[in-house]
Amino acid sequence: DKNVREYWTLQRAIHYINNNQRKEGLEQLYLIPESSIYAEDASRVLRQIHELNADVLIESLKQSAGDLNACSSMVQSWNAATRLKVARELISRSHEKPAEWQRNSIKAILSESIEFPNHMTGELYRLLGDSTNAAKCFKLAIEQDGETIHTLTGLADVTRDAEGMKRVLRATSQDANKSYWYWLANLRLVEWHLQDGGDKVDAIAKINRLRKMDASLGGTHFQHLFNELSE
């Protein structure tokens, strides 16, 4: 019957997890509904593995990303250290390859967490497109800890500060491996140039010079956005 099936689903999940097959174990745990008599056991197993691996934490959020309430409930069950770990991982993944599911995850993290450093909170708000709160946090971070490339770029982005972005380029252009912030600064400067009625030929020439430096233009995400500006 239903209870027997759910019991063996839980046992399969535990078997997978004990054999370092976390993805398969999570897939089994997600099959156990909240109404099940084994739901509490499944939640306990999830909490235990949450502390072990950031990938597991992110996968759990991704599975619930369509429902902000579900995301928030999951975040509430974590301690402060776990939330911090997930926030850092969400920022890293958003920089590498933004995805829609990340937005609810970030919203849930922000709604339940007030203990993050200001620069991190600012970046989470920036990724959500909340320029007002992002600017407040970046300014606080700069006042308290001084200016960094991270806070300078973040603040320049949300306040549309072209001179600030040029400072970012001067500070990062000599690095052999150009950072996320370098490519973001270049993207915004080209974007703002066009929005302000600048010559598109100049913008395309700038993008072509960047392409000679790195054919990928800083990675798939940035390449796509630069290509859109070139069209």
What does the DSSP assignment read for 58-96? Answer: HHHHHHHTT-HHHHHHHHHTS-HHHHHHHHHHHHHHHHH
The model's pTM is 0.76
Report the largest interatomic distance among the alpha carbons of the chain, rounded to a whole angstrom. Answer: 70
The pLDDT tens digits for 55-96 are: 777 887 888 878 888 888 888 877 787 888 889 989 999 999
Q: Nearest 5°: CA angle at 223, between 172 and 197?
A: 80
- Confidence at residue 20, expressed as pLDDT on a 0 to 100 scale: 66
The pLDDT tens digits for 127-161 are: 999 999 999 999 999 999 999 999 999 999 999 99
DSSP letter (8 states) at residue 219 = S
- Confidence at residue 51, expressed as pLDDT on a 0 to 100 scale: 60
How far is the C-alpha of 196 from the C-alpha of 193, rounded, in Å? 5
How far is the C-alpha of 118 from the C-alpha of 229, rounded, in Å? 32
The pLDDT tens digits for 23-43 are: 788 889 889 988 899 988 888
